[in-house]
Amino acid sequence: MFNNNNYAKRFNELCNYNRSKGVVNEQTSQLDVVKQIVIFLNNNYKPGEITTVATDGRVTTKKVIGVKAKDDKNTNVIATNISPLDVFYRLEEEFKNQIEKSEKRDVFLKTVVIDWFNGYDGLKNGILSKNLSY
């Protein structure tokens, strides 16, 4: 005889169902988290570079991330520039409830920031340039 309770229990085990996170499996969860992080980054920051000329004439380029703000006309402007490391720390704080603290999480978040800064196309689908999990 077919037992619905056993079927549902087995289905949940197979899908690695986690009620506290409300996700079906780890892969779906990671794709969704990457998409959420990218949306957060796009709404609050803009990648860029600053070129400076040293006193000896050497030209150096430094990667910076601009913090978006609204001006009087309600248009996006860059309020200040921060380092990619500062954005990493902000992501740690913003997503601490979704991603448990671990070394894997740090590598995961750094990879998301690097891919976002470099304009990696896979991010719009939640895919990173490296095969990582947190």
Note whether residue 130 is domain-resident. no
Residue 134 lies in a domain: no
What was the pLDDT predicted at 59?
93
Total count of domains within the chain: 1
pLDDT: which is higher, 7 or 102: 102
Strands (E), 3-133: 45-53, 59-70, 76-82
Q: How many residues does the chain have?
A: 134
- 77 or 27, which is more confident: 77
Q: Which two tokens stand for residue 67?
A: 């913090």
Pairing of strands 59-70, 76-82: antiparallel
In a domain? residue 132 = no
pLDDT for 2 beyond 50: no
Q: Report pLDDT for 27.
A: 47
